[in-house]
């Protein structure tokens, strides 16, 4: 199969394209700077203005690109977070609309932030009401933009990612205080962390690509953990002490509005993936952390 990918040079994208290569699929990676990458027998890097007529038959499209959430959320940063996702999605939609033969499936990135923050509710794909904070706004607008592809009659998946654990990504930030021997829970530690191992991110995306799945899909592990338990397990795996809590006001003062990524959370379950038969490689946090740190 020929797969068109945005965000293919990022953390998730690199792992995904590598897995697709192993199955002899060819990835056409859309990037602003294709000249910075070398073409291989399984990857072709192309610009967003690449002539559509030169593309082969595209069987699937995976849209992962968007500016990182990490960084102080100034008004300019927040605008860039949303606009980067909407503009790239629209560029991909324009490409799809010009293809003589449309792809069979479109997978568009989103996030569990769609559901908003809660220490009490349990969210699944059956939850249709989005939250009312900035992250929910980002996810909602991103999914609404992608609906244009669904309206073309193409099977469309909205991949709602949890906190992705791997050598790159969120874990390198989450583990830094622990590695510096000052790790402890954030605030009261009761906030949920809906996490997922990078191997299962890649696995679920491929599962959606090759199976008749559509609509929202929570790309999360089936066992979220509270912040206090997550940090304790991380300390154990790294063989570091589990120290005093970091007060939430200090985090908010330091990180501003972005602090909600740490001080708040949500309990999200991957019911659709489970009901469709996906088998998790890392359903439990301790095993996931041990794998990453070995």
CATH code of the domain in which 240 resides: 3.40.50.720
Whole-number pLDDT of residue 185: 75
Residue ranges making up the domain that contains 175: 2-293
d(CA 64, CA 30): 10
Residues of the chain with pLDDT under 50: none
Q: Spell out the residues 6+ positions from residue 203 whose beta carbon is closer than 8 angstroms to its own.
A: 278, 280, 281
Identify any residues that bridge with 62 across adjacent strands, giving them in sequence order.
5, 107
DSSP 8-state secondary structure symbol assigned to residue 54: G
The domain total for the chain is: 1
198, 15 contact by CB (below 8 A): yes
The pLDDT value given to residue 51 = 94
Do strands 225-226 and 192-193 pair parallel, antiparallel, or not at all (unpaired)? Answer: antiparallel
Q: What is the value of pTM for the model shown?
A: 0.92
Strands (E), the chain: 2-6, 26-30, 43-46, 60-63, 105-111, 122-123, 155-161, 163-165, 192-193, 195-197, 215-219, 225-226, 267-268
Say if strands 105-111 and 155-161 run parallel, antiparallel, or are unpaired: parallel
Per DSSP, the three-state class of 273 is helix
* pLDDT for res 3: 98
């Amino acid at each position: 199969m020929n797969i068109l990918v945005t965000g293919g040079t990022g953390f998730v994208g690199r792992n995904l394209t590598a897995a697709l290569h192993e199955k002899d699929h060819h990835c056409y990676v859309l990037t602003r700077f294709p000249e910075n990458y070398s073409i291989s027998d399984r990857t072709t890097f192309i610009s967003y203005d690449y002539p559509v007529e030169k593309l082969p038959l595209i069987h699937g499209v995976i849209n992962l690109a968007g500016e990182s959430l990490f960084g102080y959320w100034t008004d300019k940063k927040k605008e860039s977070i949303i606009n980067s996702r909407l503009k790239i999605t629209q560029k991909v939609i324009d490409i799809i609309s010009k293809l003589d033969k449309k792809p069979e499936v479109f997978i568009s990135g989103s996030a569990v932030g769609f559901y908003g923050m809660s220490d009490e509710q349990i969210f699944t794909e059956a939850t249709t009401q989005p939250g009312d904070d900035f992250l929910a706004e980002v996810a909602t607008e991103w999914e609404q933009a992608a609906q244009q592809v669904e309206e073309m009659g193409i099977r469309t998946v909205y991949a709602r990612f949890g906190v992705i654990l791997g050598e790159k990504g969120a874990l390198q930030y989450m583990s830094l205080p622990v590695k510096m021997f000052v790790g402890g829970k954030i605030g009261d530690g009761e906030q949920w962390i809906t996490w997922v191992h990078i191997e299962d991110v890649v696995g679920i995306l491929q599962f959606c690509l090759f199976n008749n799945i559509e609509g929202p899909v929570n790309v999360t592990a089936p066992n979220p953990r509270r912040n206090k338990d997550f940090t304790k397990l991380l300390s154990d795996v790294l063989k570091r002490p589990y120290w005093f809590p970091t007060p939430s006001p200090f985090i908010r003062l330091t990180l501003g509005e972005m602090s909600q990524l740490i001080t708040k959370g949500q309990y999200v379950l991957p019911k659709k993936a489970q009901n469709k038969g996906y088998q998790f490689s890392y359903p439990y946090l301790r095993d996931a952390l041990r794998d990453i740190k070995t």
